[in-house]
Amino acid sequence: MRKVAIIGVGSSKIGVRNDVNVAELAFEAFKPSVDDAKIAPKDIEFVAVGSTGAGAWYEELLPAVVSAEYCGLTGAGLVRCEAACASGSAAFSTAYWAVASGQADIAAALGVEKMREIDTPTMMEWIGRAGYYLWEFHNFGLTFPAYYALYATAHMAKYGTTEEDLALVAVKNHKYASMNPIAHLQNRITVDDVLSSMVIASPLKLFDCCPTSDGAASIILASEEKVKELNIDAPVWVAGVGYASGTANMSKRLDYVGLEASVLASQKAYKMANVTPDLLDVAVVHDCFTIAEILAYEDIGLCKKGEGAKLLREGQTEIGGKIPVNIDGGLKAKGHPIGATGCSMIYELAKQLREETVEKSRQAPMKNYIALAHNVGGTGHYCYVTILRR
Amino acid sequence: MAAMPSIKSREMKIVQDIPISKTLQFWEGLKQGKVLATKCKKCETVYFPPAADCPKCLASDMEWIELSNEATIETFTHVVIRPTTFQQNKPYTVAIGRLKEGVRVLAWLTGFKLSEVKVGMKVKLVAKVSSEGNPTYEFTRPE
């Protein structure tokens, strides 16, 4: 297996992007990523596209082909990866393996999602169906906030986590999003704002939930030989890739106080990268709902089981704390364009590791130059954990 | 934000015919007031939702068993913001309950005030036909 580096990253502005179609949005992320890598589209031999709502919440059934044509990539090896909300990470790992195996010297992972072309109840319907339609949606109308609310209720009952603790996740992530010009929600909020927002699925309220976002992110990967040949000055190396899955039926999970797929995927990634959680300088975790960030702290080993809320209350996941988490605003406030999110996480970490976040106020201090991305698909149906190192 | 220029996609209505031949006894059982599960004759694993094939030993020789109706709530949520096809329903409570057979069931919980619902609470699992005419099952107050 060859060493693989990230040599270029790009992102669109995330938000309500009714000014562009899916291919145009992909272009917005792709163009800066090839400029960053100082290559041309023809240099890319393999492209993995992450997108989830093709033909459902947006009109194109084959977003990989329309995006590839629009970006000048026709002819390259091409695939669309689906791993629900972790589709971007699935695309990233697919592109990674293409280069690591020696099959391609340069590959691209392109995450793109258009979620705002349909109305909100229809979006709730589509995403609610993303679990086990027959057994959990057909008769019971589970929504995504409801699925995560089941975890919140259980975590609160077992560990004494409170609604105020959940609110602190939203407050922190909105604070960092306010410093991130590509973020969907750039307003700062208070604990009271969260607690007084409308109930979506108890105990989760509106401000416990990520927004429904459009967005794209593009990552260019290359072999060590190509990195030398292209004179890349700040390659970011892919040190570990871990993945795992969970049951389709929520009723068959081990318990409701953590995501087993996150535990397994992170263990694999740490092992491959030969690092431990205490060596991380920065992490992005899957905070589609506030409870999910607390579960992630525990599942990926940033703290012991049941101590996620404590870690948060102590400010240890802020810049200046033990391990800054989601200092791009997270899914919660940067936004969650489902199939793009995994690539958007890698985009953020590459910028952090290269110490070139546009906004110095949210640059994590680098000691070991090691970063981790944790991306969950569905309600723990899939999980991808990626460890990067400069 | 001002609406951006757009064109409407062509409209299509999608309804899928979901096969239930292999679990027909389950759906018929619900109409008769029974909640059935399957049990693998080879490895004796009990499945709910019922499965016609065993993911554990890959055998396809299953027997039908009737589940006990006593369940303990492991977690729950009250769904206020509902999807399109549940807009006609009032907000509903969804719970996951564990049965003594070791399987869990996810279903609506009725007959309680939300403030009364607690993790660890005992409830009863019952089969029924929904107001829409669909065979289903729910948790409710034990007698």
pLDDT at B132: 86
pLDDT at A268: 98
Question: Across residues A41-47, what is the average pLDDT?
Answer: 98
Within chain A, what is the greatest distance between any pair of CA atoms? 58
**Can you list the domains of chain B with their CATH numbers?**
22-140 (2.40.50.840)
Question: Across residues A303-309, what is the average pLDDT?
Answer: 98
Residue A159 φ then ψ, to 5°: -115, 0
Q: Let me know if B91 is exposed, middle or buried by CB neighbors in 10 A (0-12, 13-18, 19+).
A: middle
**Which chain A residues are closer than 8 Å to B106 by Cβ?**
135-136, 140, 142, 249-251
Does residue A333 surpass a pLDDT of 60? yes
Does residue A53 surpass a pLDDT of 90? yes
Residue B37 φ then ψ, to 5°: -125, 170
Does residue B3 surpass a pLDDT of 90? no
pLDDT at B98: 98
Please check whether residue B120 touches A, CB under 8 A: yes
Q: Let me know if A383 is exposed, middle or buried by CB neighbors in 10 A (0-12, 13-18, 19+).
A: buried
pTM of the complete model beyond 0.95: yes
Query: Which one, of A247, A284, A256, A242, lies nearest residue A383 by Cα?
Result: A242
Q: How far is CA B104 from CA A382, B46, B74, in A?
A: 21, 11, 9
Does residue A52 surpass a pLDDT of 80? yes
Place of tokens 């669909």: B134
pLDDT at B1: 47
Task: Tell me if ipTM is over 0.90.
Answer: yes
The model's pLDDT over B72-127, given as tens digits with 9 standing for 90+, comes to: 999 999 999 999 999 999 999 999 999 999 999 999 999 999 999 999 999 999 99
Q: CB-CB: which of A121, A151, A201 is closest to B87? A: A121
CB neighbourhood size of A317 (10 A): 27
* Tokens coding A121: 């109840």
Cβ pair A114, A25 in contact under 8 A: yes
User: Prior bond to A203 cis, omega within 30?
Assistant: yes
For residue A236, what are the β-bridge partners? A6
Query: Which one, of A287, A86, A337, lies nearest residue A172 by Cα?
Result: A287
Alpha carbon of B104: minimum distance to chain A alpha carbons (Å): 5
Cβ pair A150, A250 in contact under 8 A: yes
Cβ pair B69, B35 in contact under 8 A: yes
Among all residues of chain A, which has the CA nearest to that of B77? Answer: A202
Question: Across residues A277-306, what is the average pLDDT?
Answer: 98
Cβ pair B91, B80 in contact under 8 A: yes
CB contact under 8 A, A18 and B74: no
Question: Across residues A261-286, what is the average pLDDT?
Answer: 98
User: Prior bond to A63 cis, omega within 30?
Assistant: no
Which residues, other chains included, contact A198 with Cβ-Cβ below 8 Å and sequence gap of 6+? A205, A206, B80, B81
Please check whether residue B56 touches A, CB under 8 A: no
Q: How far apart are CA A344 and CA A360, in angstroms?
A: 19
Among all residues of chain A, which has the CA nearest to that of B129? Answer: A139
Question: Across residues A220-240, what is the average pLDDT?
Answer: 97
**DSSP 8-state code for residue A133:** I
pLDDT at A98: 98
CB contact under 8 A, A146 and B89: no
Please check whether residue B105 touches A, CB under 8 A: yes
A-side interface with B, Cβ within 8 Å? 16, 18-19, 59, 117, 121-122, 124-125, 128, 132, 134-136, 138-143, 145-146, 149-154, 157, 198-204, 249-252, 256
* Residues of A taking part in catalysis: 85, 336
**Can you list the domains of chain A with their CATH numbers?**
4-118+212-389 (3.40.47.10)
Q: How far apart are CA A232 and CA A33, in angstroms?
A: 13
Q: CB-CB: which of B92, B104, B119 is closest to A141? A: B92
Annotate A95-106 with DSSP letters as a single string: HHHHHHTTS-SE
Mean of per-residue pLDDT scores for chain A: 97
CB contact under 8 A, B82 and A122: no
Does residue A12 surpass a pLDDT of 80? yes
Alpha carbon of A333: minimum distance to chain B alpha carbons (Å): 19
The model's pLDDT over A126-159, given as tens digits with 9 standing for 90+, comes to: 999 999 999 999 999 999 999 999 999 999 999 9
Q: How far apart are CA A43 and CA A49, in angstroms?
A: 17
Among all residues of chain A, which has the CA nearest to that of B99? Answer: A251
pLDDT at B2: 55
Q: CB-CB: which of A117, A140, A154 is closest to B94? A: A140
pLDDT at A168: 98
Question: Across residues A364-378, what is the average pLDDT?
Answer: 98
Residue A5 φ then ψ, to 5°: -120, 155
**What sign does the dihedral A346-A348-A349-A355 (CA atoms) show?**
positive
CB contact under 8 A, A141 and B18: no
Instruction: State the best of B67, B98, B106 to mutate against chain A, taking most chain A CBs within 10 Å.
Output: B106
**Which chain B residues are closer than 8 Å to A142 by Cβ?**
79, 94, 106
Angle at A144 (CA atoms; ends A140, A146), nearest 5 degrees: 60
Does residue A298 surpass a pLDDT of 80? yes
Alpha carbon of A207: minimum distance to chain B alpha carbons (Å): 14
